[in-house]
Chains A and B, each alone.
Chain A
Amino acid sequence: MRNFFIVLILVVTALFTSSAIAQRKAPEVSFNTADGKVYDLSNLKGKVVIVNFWATWCGPCRKEIPDFIEFYKGYKEKGVEILGVSLDREGWEKVTPFLKKTPINYPIVLGNGEIAGKFSRFNAIPTTFIIDKSGNIVDEHTGVMTKSQLEAKVKPLLAANS
């Protein structure tokens, strides 16, 4: 009976952890850039997609943008897409002036709490999700990400079969 109890605890614990770390499908959401271009996550299958939640008022978010720019320069043609999802409440009113001062080479789109919640219950920004070629969220990172960190995460995904 004691052994049964131990096995039962192990099984339930495994169920808890497997539900937390198992890959999950990226939500079916689409985003628009300021000039009206639409990015639908479901149409980006076949690429490795990085979805980065940020805001103009967020210092750490602004710090990592140069690394994302440099990373995109080297990996866009290799099949990587980055979507910079701004959570600014004022939307383009805030983001457009920021982009004029800080040109960004990857698509910048708008998001909100509801869209963010479809990805996960993250509680701070910057938060970055990495989606594999099959449309699975395979990584989530809250905090500044460097170019090296992005490369380390993305290279294996690019090498994998779609």
Chain B
Amino acid sequence: MRRSQAAVSIIVLAVLFAVEQACAFQTGGPPTSAGKVKAAGKLSVDKVPAGSTFKAVVVLSIAEGWHINSHVPTYDYLIATTLELQQHAGIAFSDVRYPPGRNMKFGFASDSLSVYEKTVTIFFTGRTSGRIPTGRINLRAKLEVQACNNQVCIAPATIDVLIPIEIVPASTKPKQINGSVFAPFARE
């Protein structure tokens, strides 16, 4: 039993060594900021009737210890966080609202920088035409981000965001959902 245990250990360690050597020869370059930011879309209603207005958000979760530049960064050479909504037949988008940046001081800059950290939300409004076909579709958006911590930066990334949406007949009454997410955006 002891000899077989030793043999298994030798094989496992040899495999691990071989994998490590194989990984060392991979090329492809450094990772991007997409590894530090997760983006998820949410709607204000469970279904969207044709000919109606709905609210949506993209929630950004930024890795602990990292930040991304706000939509209006302090310096023009910094890459801004930007959401680009992809056109979809029968849906018009408007009122894209970015959160205000937080001014934070970092060791590599003499001025405070306007950044996003932790969790931030980008809001927008959509309006469906009266003739839009019913059924399930995906709203698509491209989110550009570039992350740094207090010492280093990671390459910018464009993150694809998908927001599933169900288009229903105009007479359908949708149910309001995600109330807590949309409460800050309610207009007075």
Asked if B40 lies at the interface with its beta carbon under 8 angstroms from chain A, I say no
Q: Which of B9-17, B42-50, B93-101, B128-136 binds A? A: B9-17
User: Considering the chains assembled together, what is the distance between the CA atoms of A144 and B151 in angstroms?
Assistant: 7
How far does the Cβ of B157 sit from chain A's closest Cβ, in whole Å? 11
Contact with B along A110-147 (1 / 0, CB 8 A): 00111111100111111100000000000000111000
The interface size bin for chain B is 20 to 34
User: Which residues of B are at the interface with A, using a C-beta cutoff of 8 A?
Assistant: 2-3, 6, 9-10, 13-14, 17, 20-21, 23-24, 26-31, 77-79, 106, 108-109, 113, 146, 148, 151-156
Given contacts A1-B2, A15-B17, A63-B108, contact A57 B79 (CB under 8 A): yes
* A: number of interface residues (CB 8 Å): 38
A12 touches B151 (CB 8 A): no
Neighbour of A114 across the interface among B3, B27, B153, B154, CB < 8 A: B27
Q: How many A-B residue pairs have CB under 8 A?
A: 91
User: Considering the chains assembled together, what is the distance between the CA atoms of A141 and B7 in angstroms?
Assistant: 39
User: Which residues of A are at the interface with B, using a C-beta cutoff of 8 A?
Assistant: 1, 4-5, 8-9, 12, 15-16, 19, 55-63, 87, 89, 98, 112-118, 121-127, 142-144
